[in-house]
């Protein structure tokens, strides 16, 4: 009843090919964006920003990046943490070398640097496939983290080995540093993520995205219909790393503010982003957001529920939390192996018929 496209006629091809061809979808997404841009900033405080929204946005962007590579192009990568580190340290070097550079440019440049590194480490994908490739990307992960840990230039020869993002103003508003207000930091990240999520949605709908999917579904067949694997795979690595790099820059500069290569960008990070896209849904931009929300929120919810809600001892709560996360992941996979995005889709399909199922 509420969600029905009856009567929505599309007189032009353009309208038919819009990102959200159904009016209700458009309203919904507009409403979500309106809430995100207009309502959330009024309510957000340090806790919501630091514990929920900023990690959610940073991870969502990284997940979009990895989803492009893994979900759309079928190349499993476990090097996300390393690529995020490239983004973060590029941003750090740019911020300290050119303090007056607009931060938008810093983030995009950081993404660009990461894209180059990504292409380099994507080269083996031309020969290696599946889990072999996944483990091979770990080489990138370990090497990059080692590099940032070892070479003093990347951390400006800091005695401590930790990098701290200097305060940054964006058109007169502080967005990085301890004094930056939560709404400012949040809005900056949100704008970034919104714009680039839209861009990603369009890329994967276009020619290049379709060539990735062809490669994913069957690379030999794709070759036969005239898609060059070299071009398709490397472009996927480049675009994916670009996103992951930007996510790394936001993650480091806006969210954490200080980081150490081994701890902040370790292998756990790579796995975490991979969890996000599998839980959220491979090959879905929406899935990246849903997955990030699940992986960031769920542990906090479980913890708050157990510790503040029913008064479980903190350490027991943590153990139960880990176990429950595991159970939930397995449960979701059994119920819906294609992730939360697929659940959402099923919901929509059911809604179309509701309340008359036939």
Partner 1 sequence: MSPDFLFFLEIIVSGLMAGVMYSLVALGFVLIFKASGIFNFAQGVLCLFAALALYDFIAPGGWVDRWFGFTLPVWLGIIMTAGVMVIVAWLIERLVLRYLVNQAPIILFMATIGLAYVLEGMGDILFGSDVKPLDIGLPQGASDYMLDTFGLYVEKLEIVAAFVAAALVAVLAVFFQKTRIGRALRAVADDHQAALSVGISLRTIWVIVWSVAGIVAMVAGIMWGSKSGVQFSLSLIALKALPVLILGGFTSVPGAIIGGLIIGVGEKLAEIYVGPLFGGAIENWFAYMLALAFLLVRPQGLFGEKIIERV
Partner 2 sequence: MKLTTLAKTVAAAAIAMPLMTAAASAYELVIPTLDYRTGAYAPNGIPFANGFTDYLTLLNNRDGGINGVMIKHVACETAYNTKQGVECYENTKNTEPSGALVYQPLSTGITYQLIPKSAVDKIPVFSMGYGRTSAANGTVFPWIFNFPATYWDQATVFVQYIGDKEGGMDKLKGKKIALVYHNSAYGKEPIRTLQKMSAKYGFSLLLLPVDHPGQEQKATWLQIRRERPDWTLMWGWGVMNQVAIKEAASIRYPMDHFIGVWWSGSENDVEPAGMAANGYLSGAFHAPGDKFPLHDEIKKYVYDKNQGTGERERIGEVLYNRGLVAAVWTVEAIRKAMEIHGTKEVRGEQVRDGFEALDVSEARLKELGLPGFTYAVKITCANHQGPGKVALQQWNAKAKQWKIVTKFYEPLSDITGPLIAEDSAQYAKENGITPRSCN
Counting contacts by CB under 8 A, is residue 18 touching partner 2?
no
Among 224, 230, 258, 346, binds partner 1 (CB under 8 A): 224
User: Judged by CB, which is closer to partner 1: 155, or 256?
Assistant: 155
Contacts of 130 (CB under 8 A, 6+ apart): 76
| DSSP assigned state of 252 | I
User: Judged by CB, which is closer to partner 2: 27, or 146?
Assistant: 146
Q: How far apart are CA 322 and CA 333, in angstroms?
A: 17
Q: Which residues between 329 and 348 bind partner 1 (CB under 8 A)? A: 329-330, 333-334, 337
Choose the contact partner of 266 out of partner 2, partner 1, none; CB within 5 to 8 A by kind. Answer: partner 2
Which token pair is 317? Answer: 């709560």
Q: How far apart are CA 187 and CA 180, in angstroms?
A: 12
* Closest distance to partner 1 from the beta carbon of 61 (Å): 21
Contacts of 126 (CB under 8 A, 6+ apart): 229, 230, 233
Q: Which residues between 49 and 78 bind partner 2 (CB under 8 A)? A: 50-52, 55
For residue 323, give the H/E element and its range: helix 314-335
CA dihedral of residues 204, 15, 32, 245 (deg, nearest 10): 20
Give the distance, in angstroms, between the CA of residue 112 and the centroid of all CA atoms in the same chain: 16
User: Judged by CB, which is closer to partner 1: 41, or 124?
Assistant: 124
Helix segments in 8-68, DSSP class H: 13-16, 23-34, 40-43, 46-47, 54-66
Stretch binding partner 1 (CB under 8 A), from 199-207, 226-234, 241-249, 313-321: 313-321
For residue 258, give the H/E element and its range: strand 258-259
Stretch binding partner 2 (CB under 8 A), from 5-13, 42-50, 109-117, 280-288: 42-50
Counting contacts by CB under 8 A, is residue 307 touching partner 1?
no
User: Judged by CB, which is closer to partner 1: 54, or 292?
Assistant: 292
Number of neighbours of residue 318 by Cβ within 10 angstroms: 16
Among 11, 178, 311, 355, binds partner 2 (CB under 8 A): 178
Q: Which residues between 169 and 208 bind partner 1 (CB under 8 A)? A: none
CA dihedral of residues 298, 302, 303, 307 (deg, nearest 10): 160
* Closest distance to partner 2 from the beta carbon of 132 (Å): 23
User: Judged by CB, which is closer to partner 1: 208, or 298?
Assistant: 298
Counting contacts by CB under 8 A, is residue 308 touching partner 2?
yes
User: Judged by CB, which is closer to partner 1: 22, or 329?
Assistant: 329
Among 27, 47, 98, 132, binds partner 1 (CB under 8 A): 132
Binding mask 326-345 for partner 2 (x = CB under 8 A): -----------------x--
Instruction: Sort 28 into a burial class: Cβ within 10 Å, 0-12 / 13-18 / 19+.
Output: middle
Among 159, 220, 225, 334, binds partner 2 (CB under 8 A): 159
Counting contacts by CB under 8 A, is residue 278 touching partner 1?
yes
Contacts of 16 (CB under 8 A, 6+ apart): 10
Q: How far apart are CA 241 and CA 115, in angstroms?
A: 5
User: Judged by CB, which is closer to partner 2: 62, or 203?
Assistant: 62
% helix, strand, coil for the chain, step of 5: 75, 5, 20
Instruction: Sort 100 into a burial class: Cβ within 10 Å, 0-12 / 13-18 / 19+.
Output: exposed
> Residues interacting with partner 1, by CB under 8 A?
70, 76, 124, 127-132, 135-136, 138-139, 142-143, 146, 150, 218-221, 224, 267, 271, 275, 278-279, 282, 316, 319-330, 333-334, 337
> Residues interacting with partner 2, by CB under 8 A?
46-47, 50-52, 55, 96, 146, 149, 158-162, 164, 166-167, 177-179, 256-260, 262-264, 266, 297, 300-301, 303-305, 308-309, 314-315, 317-319, 322, 343, 347, 350
């Amino acid at each position: 009843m509420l969600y029905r496209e009856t009567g929505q006629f599309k007189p032009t091809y353009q309208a038919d090919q819009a990102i959200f061809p159904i009016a209700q979808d458009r309203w919904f997404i507009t409403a979500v964006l309106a809430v995100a841009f207009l309502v959330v900033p009024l309510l957000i405080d340090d806790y919501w920003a630091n514990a929920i929204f900023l990690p959610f946005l940073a991870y969502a962007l990284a997940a979009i990046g990895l989803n492009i590579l893994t979900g759309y192009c079928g190349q499993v990568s476990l090097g996300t943490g390393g690529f995020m580190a490239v983004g973060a340290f590029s941003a750090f070097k740019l911020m300290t070398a050119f303090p007056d550079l607009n931060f938008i440019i810093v983030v995009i440049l950081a993404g660009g640097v990461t894209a180059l590194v990504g292409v380099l480490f994507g080269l083996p994908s031309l020969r290696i496939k599946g889990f072999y490739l996944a483990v091979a990307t770990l080489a990138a992960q370990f090497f990059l983290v080692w590099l940032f840990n070892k070479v003093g230039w990347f951390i400006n020869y800091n005695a401590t080995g930790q990098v701290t993002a200097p305060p940054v103003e964006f058109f007169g508003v502080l967005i990085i540093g301890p004094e930056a207000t939560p709404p400012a930091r949040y809005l900056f990240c949100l704008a970034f993520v919104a714009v680039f999520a839209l861009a990603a949605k369009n890329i994967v709908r276009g020619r290049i995205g379709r060539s990735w999917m062809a490669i994913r579904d069957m690379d030999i067949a794709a070759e036969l219909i005239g898609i060059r694997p070299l071009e398709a795979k490397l472009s996927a690595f480049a675009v994916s790393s670009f996103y992951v790099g930007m996510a790394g820059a936001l993650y480091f500069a806006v969210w954490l503010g200080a980081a150490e290569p081994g701890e902040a960008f370790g292998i756990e990070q790579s796995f975490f982003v991979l969890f996000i896209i599998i839980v959220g849904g491979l090959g879905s931009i929406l899935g990246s957001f849903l997955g990030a929300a699940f992986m960031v929120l769920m542990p906090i919810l479980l913890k708050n529920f157990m510790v503040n809600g029913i008064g479980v001892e903190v350490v027991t709560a943590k153990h139960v939390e880990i176990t429950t996360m595991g159970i939930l992941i397995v449960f979701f996979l059994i119920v819906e192996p294609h992730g939360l995005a697929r659940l959402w889709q099923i919901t929509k399909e059911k809604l179309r018929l509701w309340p008359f199922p036939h």
